[in-house]
Amino acid sequence: EKFYNSSVVNNLADTWNNNIIRAAMGVENGGYLTTPTTEKSKVMTVVEAATAKGIYVIIDWHAHDIHTTEAVNFFSEMARLYKDYDNVIFEIFNEPDYESWSQIKQYAIQVIQAIRSQGANQIIVVGTPTWSQDVDIAANDPITGYSNIAYALHFYAGTHRQFLRDKAVTAMNKGIALFVTEWGTCDASGNGGLDLTESQTWINFMDQYKISWCNWSLNDKAETASALIPGASTTGPWPDSQLTESGKFVKSKIILNGTPGGTSSSSSISSSSSVVSSSSSSVVSSSSSI
């Protein structure tokens, strides 16, 4: 919770060249389903800060299971509030775990209808099967009848390698748009050893195909994927002494990609109460995830 503030957003934009930030709102395990007002308030703080700063922001329904009624109600409200905010992107299902594409698609169409019915025409990112990896399966039966639809591709460099890049190419060749709304420099647990060589291979791939990305995550949790060391500033700016090895690497890539002519990248902010690491899981730009 401590990183969902305007100073974090401002410092990422000013010192890391972020041009998008992903506000991950935990849904299960003590998240929105338990404390909807609290979780929603954190996201809205980030949305308003990003808008004031002139950068993109992803409203991320950070769930692993389908909660159709709650998601429709949430995104109806978000769409009503932010339909005129060109910088807002709706990510309606973070990482489906064991749901089939037909189940995800049925859910997604209902949420998309709710968003569009409010007059909100911004990009909507749809999660894909197996922790947002099976983009090729989604590409075989894409959502039709709506524009500005993209599909989530998530990877962790220590686990997901060429086989997943092959899936991505297959999906793109079938005509769907991909957005890497979450990736990590380590293995799928969010921990383990860094794999910066494979991380760079993925970055090169995303640059080649002009795929925007968000890195997981701007957090000080004691795990490899965190950009900050435990006890780091909750507002920034962050000297290198407060960055993990992953954080130093990702910051350097965001700064590089945030320069004119670079591919966009950004960050994800994560709150300890709302982030759940999946056993196999895992910005218009590159950036960070809260």
- The whole-angstrom separation of Cα 22 and Cα 59 is 6
Nearest C-alpha neighbor of 150 from the set 161, 158, 139: 139
E strands, the chain, are 20-26, 56-62, 88-91, 124-126, 149-156, 178-184, 213-215, 265-269, 286-289
- The whole-angstrom separation of Cα 100 and Cα 247 is 34
Query: Is 182 among the residues known to form the active site?
Result: yes
- The whole-angstrom separation of Cα 43 and Cα 49 is 10
- The whole-angstrom separation of Cα 135 and Cα 151 is 7
Query: Is 245 among the residues known to form the active site?
Result: no
- The whole-angstrom separation of Cα 161 and Cα 191 is 17
- The whole-angstrom separation of Cα 121 and Cα 222 is 39
Cβ neighbour number for residue 250 with a 10 Å cutoff: 32
Q: Residue 41 contacts by C-beta under 8 Å, 6 or more apart in sequence?
A: none
Token output for 176: 């769907």
Catalytic residue among 39, 91, 99, 182: 182
User: 218: which DSSP letter?
Assistant: B
Token output for 288: 């960070």
Check: CB of residue 95 under 8 Å from CB of residue 282.
Answer: yes
Catalytic residue among 39, 95, 99, 223: 95
- The whole-angstrom separation of Cα 61 and Cα 261 is 31
- Would you name the residues annotated as active-site residues? 95, 182
